[in-house]
Structure 1
Amino acid sequence: METARVAWAASPKGTPAMLMRDRLQDLFVDDDFVGWFPVDGRRGVSPARLALVSVLQYAENLTDRQAARAVACRIDWKYALGMELTEPGFDHSVLSEFRDRLTEGDRADRLLAVMVDRLAEAGLVRARGRQRTDSTHVLAAVRRLSRVELVAETMRAALEALAKLDEVWLAGVMPAEWAERYGRSARHERQPSGAAAVRQYVEQVGADGIALLQAVYGPTAPAGGPGVAAVEVLRQVLVQQYWYDESGQLRWREAKLSRARKSREGTARRRSSTTAADDAEPARVPWSSVEVVSPHDPQARFSHKPGKVEWVGYKDHQTETCDEGRPNVIVHVVTTPAPEQDVGVVDAIHTALVGQRMAPVEHLLDSGYVTPETVHRALIAYGITIVGPVRQDPRAVERPGFAKEDFHVDWQTETVTCPQGTVSPQWKPTVADGRPRLSVLFRRADCRACTVRQQCTGNVDGKGRHLLLLPEPLQEIQSRVRAQQQTPEWKRRYALRAGCEATVSETVHAHGLRHCRYRGLAKTHVQHVLIAAGTNIIRLAQHRPDPRRRPRSRLQQIFRMND
């Protein structure tokens, strides 16, 4: 083939695209995408070719126009795609249409699974090995809005959407002053100044929003009005940002408070002598898991890592292999709203890996993913051993002394013996954080007479020591892992997880993971999957099957000659 001869003459060492073609032949075939396209009509571009172009596009962090231009002009891409030198490319809009198809169902995950299967067939990935997972924050492709900007911009977005639906109807129900108030995007510098003026403005915006919703759900509204996405977002924002007082007056909700501030204000209210009405909790903005922060991406959420970073957007979880002698391949990707906790995705990751026959024997995770519950379920349900630190007893950290692990638990008699030999009464079942627990309360007289009571972590003057135990298998896991993670052997075994940080850095700096190109959870997930697949292409090109052929530095060469 002329393309192969010219490509290798131009690049004797090969490029990632060329090396991928030689090692895997056809990474994707059209049969992998059966059912994605209609069978009648004019023949379109091969879906296998579009998939490979999309992966190469994210491997080099290109735009759609740049990727389409590379297909038409670059010899190494033509070689990877199996194209003749004279074969033309396609319009860049085809790539956007292909990504829209990827957002449907689990198609994006299936595309990555097909790639992993091809790598497994080539012997580059093996099941029942070691894998590691880490997460990083991803910024949504929207501007950060204040609460005042949010309500005004949401109102403007709803009006723009309704104008496209039926501008004649909208002109008949919209007051003339709305055109001035919502004609331009809401920005801080365009808002009134002063607390009183701002409150009057936002209450006016809220009243306008209520009036618009009443018109949309009224008898004269167009049939599709209530189904407009921007209208539903307006309804949610009004519910979250406003409330009606007892007199029926629309009121602006108070800003949500941090936990520390809420604790301080709650203590102050309890100490005050105000009436019950004055002491009532004011209506506040909901927490970030449900709060809409931008009408242009209503699925994006606010989150923060204490003392590190705060952002509006999503979170990306990448799972990669880490077996010696093989390339580190990203085998699974999960995209979640920003506030969702890491521990909540562990079961979904294991289910997906088992489904594609890529479940590991050992899964290395950081403390955000690891609880006794996840360790137990992974082993029982999937046969996966989780290696990661279990959170230490927070009370032992705050007040050093006897921790829960220093007490002996007798599961047969349902009692606990303290380090001084005192036996507790039988424990009682209870519920903490929505999960079953065992409540152990020592007798007050026994603890009061104890000579080392001040060393007993969590002891409160005048009361006996109180412990909360997990159910037996979970408590045994917690105690065992807490002891193991202090040993040098466990730390050496866990050190392999640190490679996740390099993967996060690579995908962020080389492939643009940190910033969303698109809006919405589904399209953002497609971006994350294509970045993972593109990263695999680069790592495949960098992999040296024989470590003895690995390039040496000048210093290593000197020592080699001396040997």
Structure 2
Amino acid sequence: MIAAAIRSMYSGKRQPPLPVRVRDELGELFADAEFAAAFAVEGKPGWSPGRLALITVLQRVENLTDRQAAETVRADLSWKYVLGLALDDPGFDASVLSEFRTRVVAHGLEEKALDLLLAKLAGKGLIGAGGKMRTDSTHVISAVRDLNRLELAGECVRAALEAISAADPGWISRVLELPGWAERYRARIDSWRLPSSQTRREELARAYGADGYALVEAVYAPFSPLWLRNLPAVQALRVMLIQNYVRVTDRKGREVVKRRRPLEDGGEGLPPGRSRLTSPYDTDARWAAKGDDFFWNGYKVHISETCHTTNDVDTVDEAAERENISLGQAIAPPNLITNVATTDATVPDVTMTEKVHQHLRRRGLLPREHYVDSGYASAELIVGAGEVYGLTLVTPVLLDHSPQARAQSGYDRTSFTVDWANQQVTCPRGQTSASWSPCRQRGSDAIVVTFSTTSCRPCPVRALCTTSSRERRQLTLHPRPIEQALQAARAEQTSRQWQDKYKIRAGVEGTVRQAIAVTGLRRARYRGIAKVHLEHVFSAVALNLIRLDAWWNNQPLDRGRTSHLARLELAELALTA
């Protein structure tokens, strides 16, 4: 009945909506068997996990809440068609979607939806190994409130008290009798104004620390149930206390709780940002900075997609022949997202390059050329990408940052001649190095080359070569293959041909913008990196379906609005021409 209604509704020139197109072109996208590991085989039958996965994707396509998605399943005919539901199907409660996501995360199936879609598209010849891909990252703001150190301390104590009170309502009254606790932790710490006086703020901070230690000691006491200490809020409180407080003995022999101070202030030191807790409700989120004026609390998402140019004719002709589609469609196939990776906000991009390649190899989608910005690249990765994965990492490498290179005067690295066979370096004045010392620097192999003081000290151009107090020049080299690849990349990226080729990388910025505008990728809906990553995977699947739908219908992906003023300007230009 629904299929007949859909056929009659879209039998003419009217184009079917995305859900109808997806069903007609791809058939059953997510089979129940693919999610069987997350669901029991006994008990009361539940909703189809394959349908719930597809609903979650369509939810991202239209940026709906769980309640809105559940209502759309009941009311929208196109959704019933793609899900294979009967016209009188009553749907489900919105909480089923949350339970589905929890099960998928608990069983490590976050990548399953994207894997299934890419496998389906690979079978249709719309995607495959080789070609070009590009990757970029953007920041994601966590789904918790931003807290300063004082608010974090108080909120961690309050969250632990709330969790314990919900789990064992009588435990607090039986064990703890501390004055002022109910008044101090009745409301969220950030819901009332903190003292403006620095002295009173320090007093409040010490009170939060003392209360936190008293609560943790009571929870870990022999008379308390063992399961209390396993509550996530209690564990978050323990981490906060370790990171922000120390207990010391004063002159009278009493134990005193005090806040940690940075090392530069003569204090005990604070943990690095990559491990510092920012909220008791999302223990995976981290504070990070980009530049001097941008800070955020949350995550980063790395998006990889295919990118085609008009020169990719061979691949296009093959796809057209396999799918029996018009060459007009095949000339500009849609750029499809092939991988998404989620990290906390402090993880640098360069650490993700290898992991992205591993995921692409697992899916059988390694590109021939991978375009990334300089944040993803290093000399070791450029060489390793070719040796291990057989691809070319197209990226601008960092230039020589020695004082001589920055000043563009004197003798930089390129002024020295390296004799790899004899392990010697010759300076521009003809002097040879005195030592050649292989070593490890920041986890990578390196070679430190040093010239002798007797050669450098009397040199008339020493001021152009080194500013070292030891009056001798020292060079740090990569191993030979890496050093030669680095120098070749630096020389190549100065050519106009390479710069024109690299322009294709900028297109991934549009994908990031689309992900933010369509699926709300900028702000996380859920807490915890596992669920945030699941959200990003479903968003990637949604964006791929949007692009495929536009391609199937021969429509431009994003048609910008032309303002009235711009139209007048275009009209005037046409008249003058």
Q: Say which SS state the counterpart of residue 501 (structure 2) adopts.
A: helix
Q: Residue type of the partner of 2:527? A: R
Q: 2: distance between equivalents of 1:374 and 1:206?
A: 45
- Tell me which of 348, 363, 366 is aligned to 1:356: 363
Q: 2: distance between equivalents of 1:16 and 1:118?
A: 17
Q: CA deviation at 1:99?
A: 1.1
Q: Say which SS state the counterpart of residue 295 (structure 1) adopts.
A: coil
Q: 1: distance between equivalents of 2:557 and 2:184?
A: 68
CA contact (8 A) 1:417 1:424 kept: yes
Equivalent residue, structure 1, for 2:162: 160
- Tell me which of 28, 36, 39 is aligned to 1:34: 36
Q: Label 1:403 to 1:290 Cα distance change in 2 as closer, same or farther (>3 A).
A: same
Q: Label 1:96 to 1:3 Cα distance change in 2 as closer, same or farther (>3 A).
A: farther
Q: Label 1:550 to 1:517 Cα distance change in 2 as closer, same or farther (>3 A).
A: closer
Equivalent residue, structure 2, for 1:182: 185
Q: Say which SS state the counterpart of residue 534 (structure 2) adopts.
A: helix
- Tell me which of 428, 434, 451 is aligned to 1:425: 434
Alignment deviations for residues 56-105 of structure 1 (CA, whole Å, 9 cap, x no partner): 11011111111112212122222222334343322222211111122134
Q: CA deviation at 1:146?
A: 1.1
Equivalent residue, structure 2, for 1:95: 97
Unaligned 5+ runs, structure 1? 257-261, 266-280, 557-563
CA contact (8 A) 1:140 1:313 kept: yes
Equivalent residue, structure 2, for 1:499: 507
Q: CA deviation at 1:547?
A: 10
Q: Say which SS state the counterpart of residue 374 (structure 2) adopts.
A: coil
TM-score by length of 2: 0.87
Q: CA deviation at 1:535?
A: 0.5
Q: 1: distance between equivalents of 2:220 and 2:554?
A: 69
Q: 2: distance between equivalents of 1:56 and 1:291?
A: 36
Q: CA deviation at 1:462?
A: 5.3
Q: Label 1:45 to 1:428 Cα distance change in 2 as closer, same or farther (>3 A).
A: same
- Tell me which of 511, 515, 520 is aligned to 1:512: 520
Q: Say which SS state the counterpart of residue 137 (structure 1) adopts.
A: strand
- Tell me which of 412, 415, 418 is aligned to 1:406: 415
Equivalent residue, structure 1, for 2:443: 434
**What is the aligned-residue identity percentage?**
38
4+ long deviations beyond 6 Å: 545-556
Q: Say which SS state the counterpart of residue 71 (structure 2) adopts.
A: helix
Q: Are 1:201 and 2:210 matched, yes or no?
A: no
- Tell me which of 308, 311, 319 is aligned to 2:304: 319
Q: Are 1:296 and 2:281 matched, yes or no?
A: yes
Q: Label 1:551 to 1:194 Cα distance change in 2 as closer, same or farther (>3 A).
A: closer
Q: Label 1:354 to 1:322 Cα distance change in 2 as closer, same or farther (>3 A).
A: same
Q: CA deviation at 1:519?
A: 0.6
User: Which stretch of the first structure deviates more once superposed, 351-360 or 296-305?
Assistant: 351-360
Q: CA deviation at 1:376?
A: 2.2
Q: CA deviation at 1:188?
A: 7.3
Q: Label 1:549 to 1:15 Cα distance change in 2 as closer, same or farther (>3 A).
A: closer
Q: CA deviation at 1:529?
A: 0.6
Q: 2: distance between equivalents of 1:551 and 1:196?
A: 58
Q: Label 1:181 to 1:546 Cα distance change in 2 as closer, same or farther (>3 A).
A: closer
- Tell me which of 183, 186, 195 is aligned to 1:192: 195
Q: CA deviation at 1:477?
A: 1.9
Equivalent residue, structure 1, for 2:374: 367
Q: Are 1:528 and 2:528 matched, yes or no?
A: no
Q: Are 1:254 and 2:257 matched, yes or no?
A: no
Q: CA deviation at 1:170?
A: 1.4
Q: CA deviation at 1:551?
A: 10
Q: Say which SS state the counterpart of residue 20 (structure 1) adopts.
A: helix
CA contact (8 A) 2:519 2:539 kept: yes
Q: Are 1:391 and 2:398 matched, yes or no?
A: yes
- Tell me which of 224, 231, 256 is aligned to 1:228: 231
Q: Residue type of the partner of 1:420? A: R
Equivalent residue, structure 2, for 1:287: 272
Instruction: Let me know the Cα RMSD of the aligned residues.
Output: 2.7
- Tell me which of 364, 378, 390 is aligned to 2:385: 378
Q: 2: distance between equivalents of 1:182 and 1:509?
A: 38
CA contact (8 A) 1:131 1:360 kept: yes
Q: Say which SS state the counterpart of residue 347 (structure 2) adopts.
A: coil
Alignment deviations for residues 206-256 of structure 1 (CA, whole Å, 9 cap, x no partner): 111111111111011122111111111111101111123464532211257
User: Which stretch of the first structure deviates more once superposed, 507-516 or 354-363?
Assistant: 354-363
Correspondence 1:458-497 to 2 at 5 A: 459-460=467-468, 463-497=471-505
Q: CA deviation at 1:21?
A: 2.0
Q: Residue type of the partner of 1:313? A: G
Equivalent residue, structure 1, for 2:174: 172
Equivalent residue, structure 1, for 2:117: 115
TM-score by length of 1: 0.89
CA contact (8 A) 1:127 1:359 kept: yes
Q: 1: distance between equivalents of 2:479 and 2:294?
A: 36
Q: Label 1:503 to 1:551 Cα distance change in 2 as closer, same or farther (>3 A).
A: closer
